[in-house]
């Protein structure tokens, strides 16, 4: 399976993995990135979206924090004003291995301001942003975008070629249009059309949730790498699983429930350490549904966990989940 393990070079930086933790707003903070890095030493990590205007106004914001072992790390910027994007990129240049430009976020409040996937409707502004950043910093610049604004206005091939001409060193493409948001199935095969037209590396993104979808996506998209977003939620182990398979052809067993709960506890503890107990517990509530998905009685436990404020009560509930599963397995074994 070594043929799947393409080593990717972005600008002057050689990467030893073709996997990326895709940026997710309010999700890929320094804690989740560090969780992934503990399990996979080589994949490219990307920060959550950083507003260029907010960054220029507050260059010491907490959202910029990162540990010392996240590299290779890309900081993702959003905005639509080339001079501000360049100024923001300069502020974070020393922290980043790469600067990534968000041209794919479909959220209404982002696109209403002309940011995110709205830039696919203004290709020249998008090109000017890339040029401005390239003229200002000495780090590779990457871009992330979608197939287009709507199904009828897909322009990802022309857009991608323009990004390369403007100086982009790599592309990540989410295989949906903006109008799809996150609904429907990602059309990985479409990405192959862009792959034929550009020489810079392409990461395919969308619906990659396990080894099987990783293989299918690479085969259909002809992409150089894979950007995994929602597939990593509740399962930061996915990068190690896919990496190991690509290198050896061996499928690692999935984490046991006890191992998943241990990962959850570690993630929760790290968020509390990063944000303080009250804020850390509240912030972490979004992750419970992913970690306990598919377990017996998961809905009831999820309802309790997302409203619980007490750290000790949370630990008790998590231990109860494991105990109940063990009881059920024991009953099945003696029947």
- DSSP per-residue letters across 236-296: TTHHHHHHHHHHHS--PPPPPHHHHHHHHHHHHHHHHHHH-HHHHHHHHGGGHHHHTTTST
| CA pair distance 229, 207, nearest whole angstrom | 8
> Is 105 one of the catalytic residues?
yes
Quote the Cα angle for 285-47-119, to 5°. 110
State the pLDDT at residue 2. 44
Model-level pTM?
Answer: 0.94
Is 283 a residue whose pLDDT tops 50? Answer: yes
| CA pair distance 321, 296, nearest whole angstrom | 9
State the pLDDT at residue 1. 43
Is 297 a residue whose pLDDT tops 90? Answer: no
Q: How far apart are the first and last CA of the chain?
A: 41
State the pLDDT at residue 335. 54
**pLDDT above 70 as % of the chain:** 96
> 93-125: per-residue pLDDT in tens?
999 999 999 999 999 999 999 999 999 999 999
CA quadruple 25, 28, 199, 106: dihedral, nearest 10: -20
State the pLDDT at residue 3. 43
Catalogue all structural domains in the chain, each as residue range(s) with its CATH number: 2-248 (3.20.20.70), 257-334 (1.10.1200.80)
Q: Are 122 and 114 within 8 A, CB to CB?
A: yes
| CA pair distance 77, 99, nearest whole angstrom | 7
Residue 64 phi, psi (nearest 5)? -80, -10
| CA pair distance 317, 326, nearest whole angstrom | 14
State the pLDDT at residue 328. 61
Active-site choice (43, 105, 112, 217): 105
Is 136 a residue whose pLDDT tops 70? Answer: yes
> 201-249: per-residue pLDDT in tens?
999 999 999 999 999 999 999 999 999 999 999 999 999 999 999 999 9
Q: Are 269 and 318 within 8 A, CB to CB?
A: no
> 143-191: per-residue pLDDT in tens?
999 999 999 999 999 999 999 999 999 999 999 999 999 999 999 999 9
């Amino acid at each position: 399976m070594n043929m799947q393990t393409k080593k990717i070079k972005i600008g002057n930086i050689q990467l030893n993995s073709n996997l990326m933790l895709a940026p997710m707003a309010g999700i890929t903070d320094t804690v989740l990135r560090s969780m992934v890095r503990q399990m996979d030493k080589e994949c490219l990590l990307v920060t959550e979206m950083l507003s260029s205007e907010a960054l220029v106004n507050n260059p010491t914001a907490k959202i910029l924090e990162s540990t010392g072992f996240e590299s290779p790390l890309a900081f993702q910027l959003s905005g639509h004003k080339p001079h501000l994007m360049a100024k923001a990129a300069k502020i974070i240049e020393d922290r980043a291995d790469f600067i990534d430009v968000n041209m794919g976020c479909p959220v209404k409040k982002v696109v209403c301001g002309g940011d995110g996937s709205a830039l696919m409707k203004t290709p020249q502004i998008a090109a000017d942003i890339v040029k401005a950043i390239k003229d200002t910093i000495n780090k590779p610049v990457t871009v992330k975008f979608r197939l287009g604004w709507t199904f009828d206005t897909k322009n990802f091939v022309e857009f991608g070629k323009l990004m390369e001409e403007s100086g982009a060193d790599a592309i990540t493409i989410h295989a949906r249009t903006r109008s799809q948001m996150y609904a429907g199935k990602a059309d990985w095969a479409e990405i192959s059309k862009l792959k034929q037209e550009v020489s810079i590396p392409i990461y395919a993104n969308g619906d990659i949730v396990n080894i099987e979808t990783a293989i299918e996506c690479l085969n259909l998209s002809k992409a150089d790498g894979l950007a995994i977003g929602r597939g990593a939620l509740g399962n930061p182990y996915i990068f190690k699983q896919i990496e190991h398979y690509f290198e050896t052809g061996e499928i690692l067993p999935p984490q046991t429930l006890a191992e998943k709960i241990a990962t959850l506890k570690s993630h929760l503890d790290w968020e509390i350490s990063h944000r303080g107990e009250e804020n850390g517990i509240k912030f972490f509530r979004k992750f419970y549904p992913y970690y306990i998905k598919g377990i017996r009685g998961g809905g009831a436990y999820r309802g309790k966990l997302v409203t619980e404020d007490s750290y000790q009560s949370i630990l008790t509930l998590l231990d109860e989940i494991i105990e109940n599963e063990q009881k059920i397995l024991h009953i099945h074994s003696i029947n």
